[in-house]
Amino acid sequence: MSTAPEPTAPEATAADSAAVPGSATPRTVAFIGLGVMGGPMAANLVRHGHRVIGFNRSRPAVDRLVAAGGEAAAGVADAVREAEIVFTMLPDSPDVESVVLGADGVLAQARPGTRVIDMSTIRPDVARRLAEAGAERGIPVLDAPVSGGEAGAKEGVLSVMVGGTPEDFAAVRPVLAALGTTIVHVGPAGSGQTVKAANQLITAGNLQMLAEALVFLEAHEVDTASALEVIGGGLAGSTILARKGAAMRERNFQPGFRAELHHKDLGIVQSAARDARLVLPLTALVAQLIAALNARGEGHLDHSALVTLVETFSGRRQP
């Protein structure tokens, strides 16, 4: 006599996975670099069921990860020793090279077969060099920079652009699902960093135009809250406007992404453009504006502080 089948374990697991992406396959991961972006990203990996061993040069960031359920490592070697996947989220190319290629670095200490995912924003040529060094040791290295800022990192809705082999991308994608909602394989090693450079170019341009529009509206005594609301609902609407508009109106430059980091990123864009013999005039202009912000000693502010330059140029703010 037949009976109605009971719900199977795979169905229950699928439901759980839909609610918490990536939680169906817990992994042991190391996370090196627990700053503004890396800290919340590591915490999201913990929330999705992964064992996360974290290391950062400053101890308070490690303590925050431990409070979120992660584990503390005494150094890079300690962090990566048991890891199946190693994440790095560091400020610049030299930092990543030191951590990954150093004598006590990731490639020297990780087990063969461990996958390394660098989520920093660095030069594409450096990303390719790291991948080549990893291949020599049987350790695949993917470049997977992100976009979405601190808010996206906290909410787990980052856009992740991944360079590496299709096989390595497929292997790590379930884990990346804890960090972002748009996760795309964009090509071989270095491609993720090339796409991120283009992303930073577009972001800087949008920020500058939003800054100019805001000062324009203020000069004509228009209610800027209402103006940005209606602009945001039309063709000119953007994530930049939605996430930066209100803070820019209020001149609140608490850093979600520091101007000094965007200055570094636009340097990457210009270097890669020169290598390809490209002429990018608007990129050069906005790069100079970001550079000016840094030269004024305001690189620690959010990149939306570009609006202060527009005010200064327009005689509406003292230098």
End-to-end alpha-carbon separation of the chain, Å? 87
Residue 227: partners with Cβ closer than 8 Å, 6 or more residues away: 217
**CA pair distance 151, 174, nearest whole angstrom:** 21
Instruction: For the beta carbon of residue 294, count every other beta carbon within 10 angstroms.
Output: 17
**CA pair distance 7, 14, nearest whole angstrom:** 12
Across the strands, what pairs with 64?
none
Q: DSSP per residue over 229-274, as a string? A: HHHHTSTT--HHHHHHHHHHHTT----SSBHHHHHHHHHHHHHHHH
- Catalytic position from the list 154, 196, 244, 264: 196
Question: Annotated catalytic, 264?
Answer: no
Beta carbons of 175 and 22 less than 8 angstroms apart: yes
CA pseudo-torsion sign 100, 101, 103, 109: positive
User: How far is residue 18 from each of residues 8, 24, 63, 178, 236, measured CA to CA in Å?
Assistant: 16, 9, 30, 11, 33
Q: How many CA atoms lie within 13 A of 156 on its CB side?
A: 15
Give me 186's structure tokens: 């964009």
Residues noted as catalytic: 196
